[in-house]
Amino acid sequence: MQIIHHIDAMSALGAQWRAAGESSAFVPTMGNLHEGHLSLVRQARGLAEHVVVSIFVNPLQFDRAADLDAYPRTLEDDLAALRAEGVDAVFVPDEAEMYPQGREAEPVLEVPGLEALMNTLEGERRPGHFPGVVTVVKKLFDIVAPDVAVFGEKDFQQLRVIQAMVAALGLPVRIVAGETRREDDGLAMSSRNNYLGEAERARAGTLYATLEGLRGRIRGAAPTAYPALCAEAERTLAAAGFRPEYVVVRRGADLAPPGEGDDDLRILAAAWLGPARLIDNIKV
C-alpha cells in the first residue's frame, strides 16, 4: 500500500493507472476509520481495479473550532486497517499541501443551483459546512481523478450535495452510495460516537428506534400530518435525554419538503446527546 503525502505524486499515480487503462475507486475520509468506512472501502474494491482512500481532516468544513480540535486523529490505526483491506494507495496530505495559501485565503467553491440543497438542515445549522465539503471534495477529485467515488448514506445530505455538484459541474466521476452501518442497538457508526460517555452510549440507540417508530406512523399519513408526527418524535428524544435539533421528513431526491403524491421520502434527524451531535436518516 502506497502512502502518499503530496499532490504531484497522487496525481501521477492516478495518471499512470489511467494510461494503462486501469480504473480506480475513491473513498474520501477524515480518518478515525470504523466499520462504516471500511464497508465503503470494500464496496469500492468491487467497483474498480484500484482503490484510493484519502485521510484529511478538512478545516474548511468545521463550523466550530472546538469540533475541529477535538476531531479524533488516529493515523497509524487507520493505515493498518486500510492495509488489511488491500487498499492500493492512501492519500494523506497536510493542510499546507491542500491549502497552500492558508485556509482563510482558500477560494471556496461556489456551485450554482445548489443553494437550496446546501442551505437547509445541516447547512442551516452549520454555516459554511457544505461550501467547505464541496471545496475539498472537488479538489480531491481533481487530484485523484477516480472513475468512481463512494460516499456513505449516513451523511445523506452530503451525498446529495456531492451528487448535485458532480451533475452541475459535469465531473467525470460516478458517485455510488454506501449503506449506513449500525451498531447492534441501531446507532449509526460515526467517529463522533467516541464522544459519548458510558451512560449516553447506553441510550444512543433511542435515536434510530425513534426514527423507525416515526417511519411506521408516516406510512399512510398525509404530508400535512408529518410536522406533528415529527414534533412527537422530537419529544420522545427529549424525554430520553437528547437535545433534538430537527426531525423532518423530506423528499429523498432533493431534500425539499414533500407534498401530496411524493413517495420517495427520507426521515432525517440531528440531536445532541451529551457532548455528541448525532445525525441519522432512514428511508421511509
Give me the least distance between CB of 187 and ligand PAF, in Å please. Answer: 17
In the block, which residue shows the cell 455528541? 276
Closest by Cα among 161, 61, 57, 167 to 119:
161
Binding mask 158-197 for ligand PAF (x = CB under 6 A): x---------------------------------------
Q: Is 47 a binder of ligand PAF (CB under 6 A)?
A: no
CB of 217 to ligand PAF, least distance (A): 30
Site size toward ligand PAF, by CB under 6 A:
10
Nearest 5°: phi and psi at 243? -115, 90
Using rule CB under 6 A, residue 29 touches ligand PAF: yes
- Under rule CB under 6 A, residue 136 binds ligand PAF: yes
Q: How many residues does the chain have?
A: 284
Dihedral (CA of 180, 33, 205, 240) sign: negative
Judged on CB neighbours under 10 Å (0-12, 13-18, 19+), 84 is exposed
Whose Cβ is closer to ligand PAF: residue 16's or residue 119's?
A: 119
Which of 5, 37, 50, 129 is catalytic? The answer is 37
CA gap 133, 160 in Å, rounded: 12
Residue 230 interacting with ligand PAF (CB under 6 A): no
Residue from 199, 193, 190 nearest 158 by CA: 190
State the residues that interact with ligand PAF by CB under 6 A.
28-30, 58, 61, 133, 136-137, 155, 158
